[in-house]
Amino acid sequence: MVVNYSSDYDVKCLLDTCKTYPVITDSDRGEIVCGGCGLILVQNIADTSYESSGYTLESFMKLTRTGPATSLTMHDRGLSTVIGANKDFSGNALPSKTKYEFNRLRTWDQRSKSRKTAAFSKAFTLLHGMKTKLGIPDSVVENAAYIYRKTVSAKLTRGRTMASLVSASLYAACRENNVPRTLDDIASAGNVERRILSRDLRTIINKLGLHLNQYNTASFISKISNNMNLKEKIKRDAFEILKRCEKEQITAGKHPVAQAAASLYISSIMNGEKISQKKFSVESGVSDVTIRNRAALIKKTLKLDD
């Protein structure tokens, strides 16, 4: 017995006794099986393996069989039908009658695509644009596309804009992979209000049951110092200040970006660099008052004034 699901991303057995058992993926048979009762949940899975091991273009073209790997960042996962230019295999132009037929085929191929496919195409185009602006790795973008597809499958798009959901999915993926990007960075790249982005992010977290870890503060120290072209000595001393703050347990509940900016500000003073709190505020996106309060707490706790 095979159960047909509308989405094969998070298949689960419907029996109550099987909720504690994981699903088992059999790549050889192309099936996903329940680990409790053995029910076949999904069958005929697409073969995503790539057996080519050539290191030159010639060997790659000879050994390739499946073509490029599928990707969730493409609206059709890279399995679309593409009708090429109006030329034959030898590069000669097609006759007028054949060219007209292929133009009609292109038109109907475009018309036959569903609304969901067209929506995915627009959403992932926006996602790739945000990836270029923020310099986010491909693995994080792949995870963001996965979260957005789950959001669409859960029918959370009603009453929400595509840009805000894509931005929220990208921020959630950055949190899961510990890639330091703030809400303000994501909102600016996606041209979305921060308030709307926060609201949709909370909805996605609650409905999809995501468990996002807090950012590592050290990653923000590297980001801010690289953007401001600070000396390596200032960066290393800021890391040392952060470690001492964690030992004193004064980082819990504090904004990681503010903590990183305050550590760098104190480190720059210790190394004789006169950099104002306003510059750290502009670069980190945190108010100078917050940086001043964090710096005062660090100096008082670590006794750096002595």
pLDDT tens per residue across span 181-230: 888 889 999 999 999 999 999 999 999 888 888 778 888 888 888 888 88
The pLDDT of residue 196 is 93
The pLDDT of residue 198 is 92
pLDDT tens per residue across span 154-173: 888 888 999 999 999 999 99
What the chain holds in terms of domains, given with CATH numbers, is 1-50 (2.20.25), 115-208 (1.10.472.10), 217-302 (1.10.472.10)
The pLDDT of residue 3 is 42
Host H or E run for residue 31: strand 31-34
Buried b (16+ CB within 10 A) or exposed e, 227-241: ebebeeebbebbbeb
The owner of tokens 């001492």 is 244
Q: Where are the alpha helices (DSSP H) in the chain?
A: 57-63, 96-111, 115-134, 138-153, 162-176, 183-190, 194-208, 217-227, 232-247, 256-270, 277-284, 288-302
The pLDDT of residue 13 is 82
Give the alpha-carbon dihedral of 294, 298, 301, 303, to 10 degrees: -140
Amino acid identity of 248?
A: E
Whether the pTM exceeds 0.75: the reply is no
The pLDDT of residue 8 is 47
Give pLDDT < 70 ranges for the chain.
1-10, 46-69, 76-81, 113-114, 305-306
The pLDDT of residue 164 is 93
